[in-house]
Amino acid sequence: MSTSHKKRPRPASLDAVFRPRSIAVVGASRRRHQIGHEIVRNLVEGGFTGPVYPVNPGAKVVYSMHCHPRVSAIPGPVDLAVLVVPSRHVLAAARDCARKKVKALVVISAGFAEVGGEGAKRQAELVELCRRHGMRIVGPNCMGVLNTDETVAMNATFAATTPTPGGAAFLSQSGALGEAILADARALGVGMSQFASVGNRADVGPPELLEYWEKDPRTRMILMYLESLGDPEAFMAHARRVSRHKPVVVVKSGRTAAGARAAVSHTGSLAGSEAAIDSLFAQCGVLRVDSMKDLFMHARVAQMERMPAGRRVAIVTNAGGPAILATDACVAAGLELAELRPATARQLAKALPPEASWANPVDLIASADAARFDAALGAVVADANVDMVIAIFVSPVMIDAAAVAEVFARHSRATDKPFVACLLGKQQGQAAARTLAAAGVPNFRFPEDAAKALGGLWKMSELRHRDATPPPRFRIQRRRGREAVERALAAGRELLKGTELYELLTAYGIPVVPSRIVREPEAAVAAAEEIGWPVVLKIEAQGVSHKSDRGGVVLDLRNPDELLAAWEDLDRRFRPEAPRLQMLVQALRRDGVETFFGTTTDPQLGRLIAFGLGGIHVEVLKDVVFRLHPLLPADAWEMVEGIRGKELLHGVRGKPPVDEEQLVEMLLRLSRMLSDLPEIRELDLNPFLAGYRGVDSCVLDARVRLRRL
């Protein structure tokens, strides 16, 4: 099975998948409702612009087309082959495709890695075969691909619904959900550019599609249903870039599995919370939403292709209750109610009856007709303090809803600001709703949804414009750090020893509290004299954990007598279980705030860096913030400012503030360390004493676990 890498051709462009000039359907069937029939039908009825070749050795004609016995028997060239044969025939079919110089396969057939054992082996062979011939694979175990570009018009799925053309590219990791996605997209009015059900992702997955869709001019936003990220660092690298010009919105499921995953380290045991995963996505510019419904809701507002300049929303309504619901939901979604300019208020005061309210929400009261909405929206939409508009209309019996909807449509067209409508009551789904749909004004049945969707739009805008400044170039003693790691690995140890820890941290400019390891009480006194009183005495023994909780740490020893007494006590209590007991003499530092830094390697998300406050804050309150490695300075600032107890860093109860810039620098240095030393599996600096401004900070205790690469 092995083959020289040199011979391998470059993998074909994904144009072979999404813009093929011709398609073979291998396993085409004459019987309606069979997948091998439905794909041919969808291709033909969808008006695919190239030839479709049914392939089936047992059929002469499929869907009124001549049927070929195998792909290599097709007279013309074939760019893409869709494979619908049973899994045991897939390899043979793929080989035949390779002979025919097919550029890409969409493998619908199930029975591969998802069933394990034989299936996994079969998938590995398929991947190897395709690599050898530069063929791309979508699937296996998927429901196909689709491109609504009229120059291609390809529906190579077996779905019952065809979406309307539009700007959303959609990746679904679940085949069956793809069926629902296409139906919902059509029903909810989300237009699609391309769709891919990626199944087992043997080749094409989220990173590849992010890259491809980045360049597709018809694709204006990218939507994904994911159950796992695949290669998290590749996903992140592409997402970071793409999300700067196209919104990327994701539903990531499989949370429960993530929660149940075995915790591999201190830091690891804290990662994987839902909030943590949300912020990890945000870090690479991706908006994660809770549900498929939210995904579509966000797509509906994103397809306006208007990004708000700020978070200030104006609400114009003919009814109080829905406006209050919208206000609450705006605030919950991180938006603000715009404060209208005095000139706007004056304009409204002139145009509106005295019972109306011309503060925001602007309540035109139940008697408002199209003309009153027109006057109010004219003033409000133009207001420079307004970034987004929600127009609410509850149909009272005496007002013509269609005329009001016309006014909404006109004001939406006349502005670049995001503008959404809520038609409540009986009008929903009738003439007025059709007017809004035709004008591209998103219309929501519930004001809370309108607010939530605008909140999402604002988040997309923030993600697009987030700070991308790279980290500064630190002076690092890279070789010294590597030597410390390699020494431990050479000695067959996963955990770094005290001296190696010191070397590694110091090499990366991370200050460590002065300390000495000693075996005898006299040496302890000598070490204390050298370090300076007062000192801390800690037991240092493999296998004794929770030193502090078990009284293995004695603080604030001010003279040799106190130190020797402490020695004796520790020796008496711990020697029985640790005959090779050593002790650590450490300078006592307490001017500062105990913080916590950690790194871990998450099986799903890759390498993570954590920051929090030390002591009970990390252990009991779990007040820890995670980001994916590598960190940008903006990420590091978010981490430091993102803990619940951040006020403790700002100085409370008469204490001075700590130097937050130094904490940010620590995070960036740790990220640099991870880049240089992928052998680091886990690292805990706990506590790191963050000094008040002008006072030295230092690591008080550290732990580093390596892995062999």
Site for a second copy in 33-72 (CB under 8 A): 33-35, 38
- Under the binding rule (CB under 8 A), the answer on residue 290 touching a second copy is yes
Both tokens of 379, joined, read 């003033």
Residue labelled with tokens 């003439």 = 431
User: Reduced to 3 states, what is the DSSP secondary structure of residue 178?
Assistant: helix
From 13-21, 48-56, 285-293, 676-684, give the range in contact with a second copy by CB under 8 A.
285-293
Nearest to residue 223, comparing CAs of 283, 155, 147, 300?
Answer: 300
Q: Which of 48, 53, 225, 408 binds a second copy (CB under 8 A)?
A: 225
Q: Which of 65, 110, 124, 402 binds a second copy (CB under 8 A)?
A: 110
Q: Which of 22, 56, 123, 172 binds a second copy (CB under 8 A)?
A: 172
- Under the binding rule (CB under 8 A), the answer on residue 398 touching a second copy is yes
Q: Which of 255, 434, 575, 693 binds a second copy (CB under 8 A)?
A: 255
CA distances from 204 to 3, 201, 251 (A): 22, 5, 19
> Residue 518 CB, nearest distance to a second copy (Å)?
25
Nearest to residue 108, comparing CAs of 82, 89, 129, 146?
Answer: 82
Q: Which is nearer to a second copy, 297 or 409 (CB)?
A: 297
> Residue 492 CB, nearest distance to a second copy (Å)?
33
- Residue 472 CB neighbour total at 10 angstroms: 9
Question: Taking CB under 8 A as the criterion, which residues in 180-219 touch a second copy?
Answer: 180, 182-184, 187
Question: Taking CB under 8 A as the criterion, which residues in 426-445 touch a second copy?
Answer: 426, 428, 445
- Under the binding rule (CB under 8 A), the answer on residue 660 touching a second copy is no
CA distances from 133 to 13, 103, 123 (A): 13, 8, 16
Q: What are phi and psi of 118, to 5 degrees?
A: -55, -40
Over the range 493-529, which residues count as b (16 or more CB within 10 Å of their CB) and which as e? eeebbeebbbbbbbbbebbbbebbbbeebeebbebbe
> Residue 324 CB, nearest distance to a second copy (Å)?
5
> Residue 397 CB, nearest distance to a second copy (Å)?
5
Question: Taking CB under 8 A as the criterion, which residues in 456-515 touch a second copy?
Answer: none
Integer-rounded Cα radius of gyration of the chain: 32
> Residue 13 CB, nearest distance to a second copy (Å)?
28
User: Reduced to 3 states, what is the DSSP secondary structure of residue 34?
Assistant: coil
From 15-23, 420-428, 582-590, 624-632, give the range in contact with a second copy by CB under 8 A.
420-428
Listed in sequence order, the residues at least 6 apart from 6 whose beta carbon sits closer than 8 Å to its beta carbon are none
Question: Taking CB under 8 A as the criterion, which residues in 111-150 touch a second copy?
Answer: 111, 115
> Residue 252 CB, nearest distance to a second copy (Å)?
9
Give the length of the chain.
709
Number of residues that bind a second copy (CB under 8 A): 80
- Under the binding rule (CB under 8 A), the answer on residue 259 touching a second copy is yes
User: Reduced to 3 states, what is the DSSP secondary structure of residue 162?
Assistant: coil
Burial class (CB within 10 angstroms; exposed 0-12, middle 13-18, buried 19+) of 178: buried
- Under the binding rule (CB under 8 A), the answer on residue 322 touching a second copy is yes
Question: Taking CB under 8 A as the criterion, which residues in 531-570 touch a second copy?
Answer: 548-551
> Residue 221 CB, nearest distance to a second copy (Å)?
20
- Under the binding rule (CB under 8 A), the answer on residue 344 touching a second copy is no
> Residue 384 CB, nearest distance to a second copy (Å)?
23
